[in-house]
Every structure is written in C-alpha cells, then in structure tokens.
Structure 1
C-alpha cells in the first residue's frame, strides 16, 4: 500500500514584520511597552506589531481578541500584513467564532495589495467555497498571482488543480511541472507528490529512481508518508536493491512519527530480519531521528 497525493496547501502562520518599536536587543516586555505606546498614538506599524505580540503572547499574556483589535486598527490603515493576520484570526476562530466571510474580505484586501501569502489563502477560500461561492477558476487565478512571486505553496496548489482536474482539464504533465517547481524550493508536500507521480508514472514514464530521490528529500524533512512509501520501495526493491533493514528503518521512522499503518507493517518487515539485523535497523532509525 502506497500513500497517495497531498491536496491543497494553506498558510496558517501569522506574518511578522517588526517596526521601529521592536528592538531585538531588548526583552519582550520592554518591546511590548514601547509598541503599545506607539500603537496608542496611531502608528499603523506599531499597531500591527502590538497585534503580533498579543497573538503570540510576547511580552504579555496571549490574547486573541486584543490581537484582533490591533490588527484591525492597522488593517484599516491599509497595512497588508495586518490584513492577512486579521483574516487568519477570523478563519481559524481565534478571538471570535470562525467567520469565513470576514476572513475572505481581509484576505482579498491583502491580496489586492500584492501579498503572496494572502493570494494563496484567498485562492483556497475560492477552491473550498469558504466565505464565497466556490470557484476553481478564481482559485486558479489567485494561485497564479502568488506563483508569479515565486510562492512554493501556490505552485503546489496549481499542481494539485491540474492533477485533480479542478477548474482545468486534468493534465498530469502540467501537475508534474508545478510540483517540480515547488519541490525544488523545498516544499515537502510537493516533494512527496512528485515522488508519487514518478512512482505511478503520472505525467512521466514510471521512474522508481526519481521517486526514491524525491521521497528521500521529503522524508528528510519529516514527511511520514514519504517515509512510509520509501519503506515500501526498499521492502519491494523498487528503484533500489531490496533491503529489509532500510525498509524496517523507514517503517520505524514513520511509526515513531505517528503513522498507524507503518506500526503494523514494520512487524512484517521485522520477520525478514535476524536479531542482529533488527538491532541495526533500529540503530539506523535512531541515527536518522537524531540527525533530523
């Protein structure tokens, strides 16, 4: 059993862009006091920074409602980063109940200011019909805008739309091309999907060697599905010489990282090993974990 493709990617981390009220040489409490003073005087960047500090609990107790308040003040002064973070709070339901209509509104404003992260998440809202009527065509349009700025997440999502035929004709060659762009930038999900397409011969002749290359890159970044698929390939001798020690090692890694199927299958792989080989496989897994 091989794990299948990942679907759309969403950016979930708030943006940070510190203004003059933040001094990295000072402690969080001192920065909070200074940013609060400047924010109360109406400085848009300080308002944004104060929102970040409430959002993250830096120099003060974490308070999503206050973060939302200060982001809102800055966002209404056309601070695109604040607009994005405000949208994120609305979408995730921090500081209030989830409100996709408001999230869409603020993502749109930030996206129209050219913020690639907002363009990505706006595309996702169109793709999923959150806060707006579902439109794959609009999603594709906004992903393209983010991709034009080199955003790997947007490249990944464009690949997924071509792979699934969402808003465009299904085209595995184009999907492969977009995944490759994102994978080269280190996007782990794209690396996994690229490996899967090479393994399955989608958009390219089947190439287990390339599948191994991209699964390995994703596995090194902690992708448990890539670790599981690598284990299968070593177990079956696909793209590499059959190696039950390596197979067990990768099953062990995936299992340790929470993959339930790997927990079951590694016991089957263990039956192929001597006691000494099993000890070596576990040692290799530990070395891998310690190094990654």
Structure 2
C-alpha cells in the first residue's frame, strides 16, 4: 500500500533579513520531498540520505516510503520499517501513521495487530495529523482493535474535517447522509461531499453526484451530477460508471447527448471486478441494447475497453 507523505499545499519561505542563512534540515528534507514528488528519485535520495543518517525525521520517513515502495531503490520492507521506527521514536506523525497502517494490514513483515495500530494512531492523532484522525475514527466507528466508541469517532471526524483531511471529510459526509452515529443532515453531508470530491476522493465524487442527481440536501442538478460521476468513473470506480448509465436511462430526454457515453460506461462497469459493496454488473447492459444499433454497440464496447 502506497503511503501519502501528506503533500504540502504551500511551502512558504520567509527570507527577510536571513536571505543568505543556511537552510534548516527540515527545509532540506522538504526539498528532497519535492524531488520525490517530481519523480527524481536519485536527487531525493542524495538529499535525504545524509539528513536521515543524522536522524532528521522527515528525511527518515521519506526514505521509509522509498524503500517500502521500491522508488529509486530496491524495495526493502525491513529497511522501510527501520526508518519509520526511527522517525516515529521522535514523535513524527507521518511515520507513526505509516507504522500504524503497517500493523493494521500486516505489512512490512509485521503481524497484523489492530490494537497496536489503534494505539499508534491515537499518538499521531493527538498532534492533529489529519490522516491519523480519520483512520482512528474509522477504527473506533467499526470497533477494530478495541470497542466501538461512536461519540469519540464523531469527534475525531469533526476534527479531521476542521483540519482539512479529505478522507475524514468524505467519511463524515457518509455518516451524516446515512445517519450513522449522528442525526441525518443532508445539506451538510452534501457540502462535505463536495469538499472531498474536489480532492479527487473517487467514492465521494460518486456520492456527491448521486445527491446532485436525486436532489438530496439541495436542488437537482443533472449536469453537475454527470460531471462528478464521470470524475469518479475515470478513476476506475465502477459504481459511478453504472450510475451514468442508469441516470441516462431515467432522464434520456434531459440528457440526449449522453446516449453513447451511457452505454460505454455500462460496458466499462460490466468489466470491473465486484465493487466494495458487492455490486456486480454482468449482463446489466442487456436490457438497453435494443435502443442501440449494432454499430453503436460495437463503438461503445471499443470505447469502454479503452478506458
């Protein structure tokens, strides 16, 4: 599982009177991180390795990610674990998060241990680290690694929304939309889904599209619903692809230009493995085929295969 290094949206460098001062080690590690994001792994290692050797936690975590995923180096789970642990021992939240995920899913040679994962996530969440707030909230909501604690899960999700974590924002939107542990609040759910969808969370894009299509929490907007379904579908989310097909079938007069795309998306959904909720779409396009010419069907199958 690839880990996010929590990409910074902005790096502000205040130069002022210290224009020619030696950059801090943390700044140097950020520069290594930028090389990594740009795909220049050799430059990232060249910058990060001496910093990591000196114990700089951001650099240690970066090297951990590179050794875990084999980016610019031969994948080495043991070395990745060593780097993460050294950074985590200094309280660095991203490293603690990565260790927690490794325990949760039994990765990097570790035995799966939800209780240990939950303990580590609590440490990182205490620093207001968004991904850990969300991950811990999920475990508390589902009772993984310990008892269910819905009030604390809700509080952590609320905090994850406040710090801008997209996964936590999407999960809390789901809870508000379905009444899971909270009172249903469709307008707020819709607003939070929109925020998460803007950060390319595929299932949030799909769920936001559904709320737009059905007019849940606000007015119906088929044009925008189609756009968000598309965004989700092109990330490989089969449920959203099938939603485009169903929305066209229910609203063909309002969406006349979507006929060919609808069948393409249906064929694409048919080709996907079972979705997280068990949905499978084999044969689901068949009832609509009578509405298409053989040429249109062939073209749609070809387009779906290219997605």
TM-score class normalised by the smaller sequence: 0.7 to 0.9
User: What TM-score, normalized to structure 2?
Assistant: 0.76
Q: Show CA shifts across 1:144-169 (max 9, x none).
A: 22211222222211111112222211
CA distance in 2, matches of 1:285, 1:60: 36
Match of 1:77 in 2: 90
Match of 2:20 in 1: none
Which of 261, 267, 271 is the matching residue for 1:252? 267
SS of the residue 1:47 aligns to: helix
Alpha-carbon deviation of 1:68? 1.9
Greater RCO structure (CA 8 Å; 6+ sep): 1
CA distance in 1, matches of 2:285, 2:193: 30
CA distance 1:242–1:86, change in 2 (3 Å): same
Please state if 1:166 is matched with 2:166: no
CA distance 1:97–1:247, change in 2 (3 Å): same
Alignment of 1:122-141 (within 5 A): 122-141=136-155
Which of 115, 130, 133 is the matching residue for 2:129? 115
Kept after mapping to 1: 8 A contact 2:42/2:72: yes
Kept after mapping to 1: 8 A contact 2:5/2:62: no
Match of 1:6 in 2: none
Match of 2:282 in 1: 263
User: What TM-score, normalized to structure 1?
Assistant: 0.79
CA distance 1:188–1:34, change in 2 (3 Å): closer
Q: Show CA shifts across 1:181-219 (max 9, x none).
A: 222343321221122233444334555455334323323
CA distance in 2, matches of 1:200, 1:187: 20
Alpha-carbon deviation of 1:113? 1.7
Q: Which moved more, 1:26-35 or 1:60-69?
A: 26-35
Match of 2:29 in 1: 19
CA distance in 1, matches of 2:5, 2:47: 20
Structure 1 unmatched ranges of 5 or more: 1-10
Kept after mapping to 1: 8 A contact 2:3/2:65: no
CA distance 1:182–1:46, change in 2 (3 Å): closer
SS of the residue 1:101 aligns to: helix
Alpha-carbon deviation of 1:258? 3.7
CA distance in 2, matches of 1:184, 1:50: 30
- Would you say how many aligned residue pairs link Structure 1 and Structure 2? 278
Match of 2:66 in 1: 53
Structure 2 unmatched ranges of 5 or more: 8-27
SS of the residue 2:283 aligns to: helix
SS of the residue 2:29 aligns to: coil
Kept after mapping to 2: 8 A contact 1:15/1:84: no
Match of 1:102 in 2: 116
Q: Which moved more, 1:219-228 or 1:152-161?
A: 219-228
